[in-house]
Structure 1
Amino acid sequence: MAPNASDDSATAADAEELRAARRRKAARYVVPATVVGVAAATIGLVPALADSGDPDLPKISAQELVEKIAASDVQQLSGTVKITTDLGLPDLGGLANSLGSAAGPSGSGDGSSADPSAKLTELASGTHTLRVAADGENKQKVSLLEDAAEYSLIHNGKDVWGYDSKSNSVFHTTASEREGKQKDELPATPKDLAEDALKAADKTTSITVEGTAQVAGRDAYRLVIKPKDENTTVGQITVAVDAKTGLPLKFTLTPASGGAAVVDAGFTQVSFARPAASTFDFTPPKGAKVEEGDAGDASKAPGHAEDFGKEQRKHLDKGSAELGKNGPEGLNVIGDGWDSIATFDTGGKGVPSGSEVGGDAGSFLDSLGDKVSGKFGEGTVFKTRLINALITDDGKVYVGAVTKDALVKAADAGK
């Protein structure tokens, strides 16, 4: 008996629907994979983009997680760190070009472009990719990847080398016993930043565990640090903590004003295997200009705990009164915690107006500053998305991770 025509039509329709369903299902996988692949090829962060979903981890209290960070003792690692800093500064435009020309070809004045201090300011804005490696206290390496060039800082035993491939210049110094410690020589990793933030954990701070995340292929807890002070410009800090090792894998600081993070530093690749010994070997290339530095210069390494993000980091520490030991003479700190304000007297006049300076420099000054007045007199507030500074017309300076109103109030109280 011949099959019914309507049955044939139904069968064909069912088959076509099945094929269509399969195509739709395949598209759900192929299209996102294609998009991710293009993005990954563009920015070179395949491992980070491959992470998805929140891992199911055992519950942990904030106190336990903080203790886990403190107990973390990772001695060997290698990986890639992406650091983005967005203080909201205006484009320097012609001013930057003028400064660059005045500084010479390397942009570092008379010094070597391989001197670590010459590279510090580059990490204060924009997005940068670092390759890092460590093998105990005496072997670390960090490489700042640039367009068609690379800057490397290598610590191997008593030697510290800086090498700038663009200018083929080398900076060499020796590390003292103190500077040879791993905590002083590693770059500004999420661990460095997280430990400083946790120092502000007092009655002015809320610390909670808010879910989980996956960073660089690792399961992590999300530790959230929120200031209770209303005058601070810090919104919150989120630290992704490796569930197994306790190592902070990602650090994100968002401002109270909202928007993009001010500081976002995280691993996109990480391995806890011992790096090859050759990773830390360095011999100056043929024809390279070698500059010898003082032993003390080794502490100027990019991301050193006392240098990288200095203005941001010092106000995360409730003991910021210690600044008085190394800061300008007569420096004092008003208050404590997140809304602390450092103040000192320059002994001179305030900042000239843009019209007085003229040119690109004058325009830059005007774009940064807001004229303010109060019982203290008059002055200018220079602002970023995190750090604000009031310079009065009689030369007094008030600076902190606080609002403009808080600075004016502090200046009024100081009269």
Structure 2
Amino acid sequence: MAPNDSAETNGGTRGTAAGRRKAARYIVPVAVAGVAAATIGLVPALASSGDPDLPKISAQELIEKIAASDTEQLSGTVKISTDLGIPSLGGLAGSFAPGGAGGDGGKGGSSADPQERMTELASGTHTLRIAADGPDKQRLSILDNTSEYSLIHNGDQVWAYDSKSDQAYHATEKQAGEDAGRDAGKKSGHPVPEGVPTTPKALAEEVLKAAGPTTSVTVDGTAQVAGRDAYKLVVKPKQSGSTIGSVTVAVDAKSGVPLKFTLLPAAGGKAVVDAGFTEVDFAKPDASLFTFTPPKGTEVTEADDAKAQHKADKGLGDLIPGADAAQLGAGEPGAKNTKVIGEGWSAIAEITTPGATGLPSKASGDVPAEAQQFLDALGDKVTGKFGSGTVFKTRLVNALMTDDGKVYVGAVTKDALVKAANSAS
């Protein structure tokens, strides 16, 4: 294994070169909270044939290599599993909607709707096949034992198809941009709902955003991922109170493309987020991958119809006041009713919910039994100078909802949330 230099961020970039200044924007973890809140994570069993002997490289040079990567054509298989420490979400989101779960023949909306299907990546183990040919052609497929769900973007057309239910979803790029975060989809290589990256590159970009005094960055040796030589970039918080222990990005030594992303919790144990290619090819994918015609008899839902259905459905925001506002996250400090306490890995978003109301009571009858069970499994009652409230916990992102309707959320410990609430009182 070749030795590698290490570096720690010190509030600015090292050197004066414009390339270094550009690359330095890529290293701060605030967005990790948003990533985890949007529910993804990964733990693949990736084959390793030993640590390759590669030329020495510094952390700054490796960051620059990632920033300079212009690869737009690739295809491959990504293994994904999630361990956020929460109950399985299978069927839960759909149970909030009148009429039952989302793939029940249309009662709760199309089973091919990306807004519904991407929540599957919040738990369990999944195999994805991805392909990209520039910014206008991408395909992502979630493989099951007997079925496949595919999301295809080709020019101004977006199609999604669920082979199990024989349902399809169709939108133009304009509609997909309004309803599913078009810009986020392009950056991550496919048109998925905003905040749901599904490749190592998309996950790495969420973390590698800006350098600052709260972050340590080193190169920690080499590895082989999907048969390709890679450097290991390790990003760690210097602050206490974060639930994040470290983030490791395996970077292709030749192209600079992130091949694997691993997020370890500060509390120890297996990875919370660990995404990696098991196979990857940087050749131009076959054009047929980006074409789709619904099979005869397929039930097709247009985006406008799906949007109207989403508005009619009773979602999480109706069960937990402020849940919709919480999606603004720490990454948008200018958002209405939201401010950020602290910085870097320990940043906490303080959100004032509309109407300043807390959780509905168990006796109110407004919360479905399955949803109440889910909330109870996550919640811990806490008290302090701020009054009383409930902390909803995962292995990564925790949120405190006070009884007077404020929400404190971040990739921080329960104690850090209570401290923030007390200081704001």
Question: TM-score, normalising length from structure 2?
Answer: 0.75
Aligned to 1:233: 243
SS, match of residue 220 in structure 2: strand
Q: d(CA) in 2 for partners of 1:278 and 1:85?
A: 31
Aligned to 1:5: none
1:152 deviates by: 0.4
Percent of aligned pairs with the same amino acid: 63
Preserved contact between residue 263 and residue 272 of structure 2 (Cα < 8 Å): yes
SS, match of residue 117 in structure 2: helix
| Distance of aligned partners of 1:250 and 1:296 in 2 relative to their CA distance in 1, 3 Å threshold | farther
Residue identity matched to 1:183? K
1:388 deviates by: 0.5
Aligned to 1:11: none
Aligned to 1:8: none
SS, match of residue 196 in structure 1: helix
- Which residues of structure 1 form unaligned runs of 5+? 1-44, 301-309
Aligned to 2:82: 85
2:340 to 322, 333, 336: 333
| Distance of aligned partners of 1:83 and 1:277 in 2 relative to their CA distance in 1, 3 Å threshold | same
Q: d(CA) in 2 for partners of 1:158 and 1:373?
A: 52
Residue identity matched to 1:167? S
1:173-201 CA-partner distances (Å, limit 9, x unpaired): 11149748842542521111111111153
Preserved contact between residue 92 and residue 101 of structure 2 (Cα < 8 Å): no
1:321 deviates by: 4.8
2:155 to 154, 157, 160: 157
1:344 to 337, 344, 351: 351
1:10-45 CA-partner distances (Å, limit 9, x unpaired): xxxxxxxxxxxxxxxxxxxxxxxxxxxxxxxxxxx8
**Matches for 1:372-383 after TM superposition, within 5 Å:** 372-383=382-393
1:268 deviates by: 0.5
| Distance of aligned partners of 1:312 and 1:62 in 2 relative to their CA distance in 1, 3 Å threshold | farther
SS, match of residue 332 in structure 2: helix
| Distance of aligned partners of 1:277 and 1:410 in 2 relative to their CA distance in 1, 3 Å threshold | same
| Distance of aligned partners of 1:268 and 1:73 in 2 relative to their CA distance in 1, 3 Å threshold | same
Residue identity matched to 1:248? P
| Distance of aligned partners of 1:205 and 1:397 in 2 relative to their CA distance in 1, 3 Å threshold | same
Aligned to 2:13: none
1:314 deviates by: 8.2
Preserved contact between residue 224 and residue 238 of structure 1 (Cα < 8 Å): yes
1:72 deviates by: 0.5
Aligned to 2:61: 64
Q: d(CA) in 1 for partners of 2:90 and 2:74?
A: 39
Task: Say how many residue pairs are matched.
Answer: 351
Bigger proportion of residues as helix:
1
1:61 deviates by: 0.1
Q: d(CA) in 1 for partners of 2:303 and 2:116?
A: 13
**Matches for 1:259-338 after TM superposition, within 5 Å:** 259-294=269-304, 320-322=330-332, 324-325=334-335, 329-338=336-345
Residue identity matched to 1:207? V
SS, match of residue 384 in structure 1: coil
SS, match of residue 373 in structure 1: strand
1:183 to 182, 187, 195: 187
Aligned to 2:396: 386
| Distance of aligned partners of 1:321 and 1:212 in 2 relative to their CA distance in 1, 3 Å threshold | closer
Structure with the larger RCO, 1 or 2 (CA within 8 Å, 6+ apart): 2
Residue identity matched to 1:75? E
| Distance of aligned partners of 1:321 and 1:239 in 2 relative to their CA distance in 1, 3 Å threshold | closer
Preserved contact between residue 200 and residue 338 of structure 1 (Cα < 8 Å): no
SS, match of residue 322 in structure 1: coil
1:133-158 CA-partner distances (Å, limit 9, x unpaired): 01112111110112311110111111
Larger Rg: 1
- Which residues of structure 2 form unaligned runs of 5+? 1-43, 191-196, 311-323
Preserved contact between residue 174 and residue 295 of structure 1 (Cα < 8 Å): no
| Distance of aligned partners of 1:204 and 1:107 in 2 relative to their CA distance in 1, 3 Å threshold | farther
**Matches for 1:115-194 after TM superposition, within 5 Å:** 115-176=113-174, 179=182, 182-183=186-187, 185-186=189-190, 188-194=198-204
